[in-house]
Amino acid sequence: MRIEASVRRLRPDAAVLVVVADGLRNGPSDGWSDALLAEAEARARASAAGHADHVAAWREAYRAFGVKPSRAHSSLEALLRRARSDAGLPRVDRLVDLYNAVSVRHGLPVGGEDADRLVGVPRLTTARGDEPFDTVVAGAPVVERPAPGEVVWADDAGVTCRRWNWRQGVRTRLGPGTTRGLFVLERLDPYPLDDVEAAVDALVAGLAAVGAAPDRIRRVRLGPFPGTSP
């Protein structure tokens, strides 16, 4: 995986910590994953202004590539809004529930992909504008195209997540048959790099509960972590 130069120029402070886990046993939401989400909701509601600095940083990043934050929220802001609402966080499946709970509790965007559905090397880049992005609108499958210059996650087959972490595509999303997952935790200044590591520790503990043995979990650091390339 890599962060391409066009994104580094836009946000040189962007750091990504990737976790690849094999041997996963996904399944429907259950008591274990519900408890994780309930704890995250309680923490979010107890502090209405919690993680405000990181939410503001993502709003500024969205503005920098031409997206009004009032029209498209980062995944962090969207989940915090849900967590603090009467509706609460969605219950999807064990893996999605896990990474959503980590996102809300630790205050940073977290996403997950089925690693076996990725084509080539995933990368954080700026879009040309002609890449396909498969999604669902009003219950029907649709292929969209990102705006030129939009920050996206992409592989060799197209865009996997639009507007940095706003909306994930269908092709690579986690599902009942996922056994090998790729999880992305993203951070901007002023979020402390050490806190990203703490969030990853929480995610890894959850992945172990969903079947991944410690020797089948790998971490990859991208961006300005100590000892890595900027």
Q: What is the pLDDT of residue 226?
A: 79
Q: What is the pLDDT of residue 49?
A: 87
- Report whether pLDDT(228) > 80: no
Mean pLDDT of 222-230: 75
Mean pLDDT of 107-128: 97
CA distance 117 to 153: 14
Kindly tell me the burial class for residue 132, based on how many C-beta atoms sit within 10 Å of its own C-beta (0-12, 13-18, 19 or more): middle
3-state secondary structure of 95: helix
Residue 130 pLDDT grade (very low, low, confident, very high; cuts 50, 70, 90) = very high
For Cα atoms 179, 100, 25, give the angle at the middle one, nearest 5 degrees.
Answer: 20
Residue 227 pLDDT grade (very low, low, confident, very high; cuts 50, 70, 90) = low
Write out the DSSP string of 10-48.
H-TT-EEEEEEEES----S--HHHHHHHHHHHHHHHH-T
Residue the block writes with tokens 């709003």: 59
Name the more confident of 208 and 225: 208
CB 37 within 8 Å of CB 91: yes
- Report whether pLDDT(230) > 70: no
- Report whether pLDDT(206) > 90: yes
Residue 176 pLDDT grade (very low, low, confident, very high; cuts 50, 70, 90) = very high
Residue 229 pLDDT grade (very low, low, confident, very high; cuts 50, 70, 90) = low
Q: What is the pLDDT of residue 25?
A: 95
Mean pLDDT of 52-57: 97
Mean pLDDT of 126-152: 96
For the chain, domain boundaries: 8-116+176-222
- Report whether pLDDT(106) > 90: yes
Mean pLDDT of 51-80: 96
Per residue in 4-49, pLDDT (tens digit) is 999 999 999 999 999 999 999 999 999 999 999 999 999 999 998 8
* % of the chain with per-residue pLDDT over 90: 92
CB 126 within 8 Å of CB 65: yes
pTM of the model: 0.95
Mean pLDDT of 166-181: 96
